[in-house]
Chain A
Amino acid sequence: MKKKSVSSDIILKNGTKYRLDNQTLFLSGELMLPVVPEFIRKVLKRIKLQKSGDFVVNLDQLDNIDSAGVTSLFYVKRKLGDAGFRLRMEGGNETIVKKLELFKPEKFDELPPEAKIGFFELVGTGVYDFFTSYFYGFIQLAANIFYFAVADLFRKKVRRKGEFANQAVLIGVNAVLIVVFMSFVIGLVLALQSAQQLRNFGANIFIVDLVVIGMMSQMAPLITAILIAGRSGSSIAAEIATMKVTSELDALKTMGLEPIRFVVVPKLYASLLTMPFLIVLANVSGIAGGGVAAYFYLDITPEIFINRMGDVMRNKDLITAFVKSQVYASLIVLTGSFYGFRVVRGAEGVGISTTSAVVVGISLVIVADSILGLLFY
């Protein structure tokens, strides 16, 4: 006899004991959130051991219940219903009955299931979205930015005072150190890697051609652009996105200040102006890096190096580098502001915008590099 009664009880960790007697479960004490997960687990396990289908949950001894408790009762009822049991609740004092009514979950309709999207629809909407929202939006923003950039060029009044210089420092001056260092290292490595091959052919002097032409026409603009896309593209996107989610952009508009003119155009000016200088610095330090490698590995003295450099340098490369600098600078500012303006949904959106701005910015720079490389071949 004793053995049977012990096995019939459901005992929770905190000591609460629910008596299971003749298909009736007597609840007592409190059925609140902290004990609910355990309650559900043990009750479901316990009742499923029984054979017959009808069950009663008696609430007479229950002192208190909260929303989690009520939903758990209905949850148990539903789960047992699926397993072929029938559960009924009875009793309970006034407050318990009131709360049962208040928190009863069944009055909510299930939401209709989402329509399944087919493969062709997915591809179709993807392509359509790309053209309507990305491609068209990008072109539109570019048109707006360049319109304001050109229109404001000689109208000092509409420009934000001091902002151009401020941005030139942020985008250009502050990037000098990293640009110089990176291009020096790359020039050095470029020369080092080729030194052995050139020596095999006895073509030591051609290291100068390689480094000078390689840096000037290809490496220096590309390295600078990638560094600036990482530094400034991200910060432009983050700044504009944050301004948008905190309605600062709306505030600017209602003060009669066009956000593109006020925020983006100074950045565009600053990067268009500073990028050529950064590329020049990258060239100088990249070639210097190559020179160092040439001196130590191929015994080419600085004198010979500089002499040969004068023969190798082409004016065309200077023009190419300048055109590239302008294209890259525009692309970086454009992608940064494009993703900044597109931000949705607060903090997480700002992060997504910033990431996209950098990734797409760098990709566009590389694509543009290959196109320009073909054009100026």
Chain B
Amino acid sequence: MDKEKVIEVRNLAASFGDTVVLSDVSFSAYKGEVTIILGSSGSGKSTLLKHILGLYETEKGEIRIFGEDALGLDEDQQLHMYMRMGVFYQNGALLNSMTVGENVALPLKQHTSLPDDLVDDIVNIKLGLVNLEYAINKFPSELSGGMLKRAALARAIALDPPILFFDEPGAGLDPISLESLDRLIIDLKEQLGMSIVMVTHEVPSILRIANRIIYLDKGSVVFEGTLKEALKCDVESVRQFFSLLDDVDKAKQA
């Protein structure tokens, strides 16, 4: 195995009160790959993502990002860590009181000492990459769902992060917009050389972009492997998940 690990989770456990959400979760994500965290609702995938992002206090287990211990960082180290990761939230989570351009410029202006006109250039480029340069002066409330997602993507890549996290990017998108969003994500990954960790359960989008699948069931990893292995896998819940694809064929034949 000569691939470089960007994320390594070891024996992570988490609970809310008495409810155990994650028990003994271990997996790795590799450089330049798209790793998908899968699982039915309530399987703990969002909780897992939030632990990796450092939004939740982790009590048990170990999380390493870029080979560095991601737990127990002090403020500066945490900032340095956040500057190297981009996060895409389900509903965009753009700041509604700022224009799209200001939203993308925010991390650049706050965390770097770049001259203002250079920041403007970078904002233009990032919005250009997601084909949204015409919306630079619009407010998030004036955008459609698909545009919001692309704007959020532009903000996530503002600092050229080597790793990008997605929390259900497909939620609320029609299949065609989702397909173009996926294509955009793949393009960006190739162009910027990023690694991607994504929580989703859109089967078509998984087939298009996944390299590696982590399947969570009731708070533990029941499958970890490549997409091909996942499709051939005989773990019941995983098989059931992908068997939904056969429904399309059945509907066609009927």
Contacts and interface: CB of A to CB of B under 8 A. Distances in A.
B18 interface: no
Given A37-B113, A105-B121, A349 B160 contact: no
Interface in B107-133: 112-115, 117-118, 121-122, 124-126, 128-129, 133
Interface string B130-145: 0001001101110000
Contact of B160 (A33, A37, A72): A33
B141 A33 contact: no
Contacts of A72: 114, 118
B210 interface: no
A348 B96 contact: yes
Interface in B169-222: 191-192
A37 B139 contact: no
Contacts of B95: 346-347
A71 interface: yes
A307 to B, nearest CB: 61
B137 A105 contact: no
B159 interface: yes
B97 interface: yes
B160 A68 contact: yes
B251 to A, nearest CB: 31
Interface in B82-108: 95-97
- A contact face: mostly helix, strand, loop, or mixed: helix
Contacts of A349: 96-97
A111 B115 CA distance: 19
Contact of A347 (B97, B126, B129, B139): B97
A105 B123 CA distance: 10
B124 A346 contact: no
A172 to B, nearest CB: 34
B125 A71 contact: yes
**Size range of the chain B interface in the assembly:** 20 to 34
A134 interface: no
Given A33-B159, A75-B117, A347-B97, A68 B141 contact: no
A111 B125 contact: no
Listed residue (A33, A102, A107, A344) with the most chain B CB atoms within 10 angstroms of its CB: A33
A103 B96 contact: no
Nearest to A66: B160
A67 B114 contact: no
Contacts of B96: 245, 345-349
B53 to A, nearest CB: 20
Interface residues of A, number: 27
Interface string A71-82: 110110000000
A40 interface: yes
B112 A105 contact: no
A345 B122 contact: no
Contacts of B97: 345-349
A371 to B, nearest CB: 37
B132 to A, nearest CB: 12
A113 to B, nearest CB: 13
Contact of A346 (B133, B141, B191): B141
Interface in B66-89: none
Contact of B137 (A71, A74, A111): A111
The listed residue with most A CB atoms (<10 A of its CB), out of B114, B118, B128, is: B118
B187 to A, nearest CB: 10
Contacts of A119: none
A36 interface: yes
14 contacts: A37-B115, A66-B160, A67-B192, A68-B160, A75-B117, A75-B121, A98-B191, A102-B191, A107-B128, A108-B125, A346-B97, A346-B141, A347-B95, A347-B97
A-B pairs, 5 with minimum CB distance: A346-B96, A348-B97, A66-B160, A105-B121, A37-B113
Given A345-B141, A346-B96, 18 more contacts: A33-B112, A36-B112, A36-B114, A40-B118, A66-B192, A67-B125, A67-B160, A68-B112, A68-B159, A71-B118, A71-B122, A71-B125, A75-B115, A75-B117, A98-B191, A108-B125, A346-B141, A348-B97
